[in-house]
Amino acid sequence: MTKVHPKVVTSSSSHQQRLFGESETSNADRNLNPVVLTVWKKSLLFSCDGFTVYDSNGNLVFRVDNYAAGNKSEVVLMDASGRSLLTVRRKRASITGNWLVYDGETTVNPRFSVAKHVNFMNAKSIAHVSSTAGSPKKKSVAYEIEGSYAQRCCVVYDDKRRSVAEIKRKEAVGGVAFGGDVFRLVVQPEIDSTVAMGLVVVLDRMFGFRSN
């Protein structure tokens, strides 16, 4: 059976700190190469749906485990040990599909919100991310997401129009192609990997073929 996670072995302690968002002030950290994660649309737990995410060494870094009978409007992104990193919750009375993202397991003072973008003048844009830090009523667009999540081909741009994260198909290994349930998440140093994976979770809720 073809392995889902890659076999490349290149890492450093500062690289891992950046991956988990533990250090964002060092100039060396800002010059790091992109973090390449392999995302598997599958939970490690039986009777659950979710995500399993590996780093370039094949180590588990993120996971999402949703029971089939659980709350379909709330998803928790965890690290490898099961510690809650982000809670993704659908905004009440949202017609177009707006989601709020909170730190940890809290559901007050959202860190940012993600809204499905409906604009026929800009068909490439599928969602925009607004920062709600300080006051949920004062929002500023932090990221714009373009492409197609269904095709696993998306780019996240920051407010300076820099590509900070990308969702792309995983290359075939040994002539065996992966389906849409296995893909890459390429994260640039300008965005935290936890945030980038949080955006993947939101996009899956908005555009995924299967709901958790």
Q: Looking at this protein, which amino acid is placed at residue 95?
A: I
Q: Is 51 exposed, middle or buried (0-12, 13-18, 19+ CB in 10 A)?
A: buried
**Secondary structure class of 27 (helix, strand, coil):** helix
In the DSSP assignment, the letter for residue 28 is H
pLDDT along the chain (212 residues), means of 10: 44 35 39 90 85 96 81 88 95 76 91 83 85 64 93 95 95 75 96 97 83 38
Contact 170, 183 (CB under 8 A): yes
pTM of the model: 0.79
pLDDT at residue number 4: 55
How far apart CA 66 and CA 41 sit, in angstroms, is 12
The architecture that CATH gives domain 13-207 is Beta Barrel (2.40)
Distance CA(102)–CA(77), nearest Å, equals: 10
Residue 171 has a pLDDT of 81
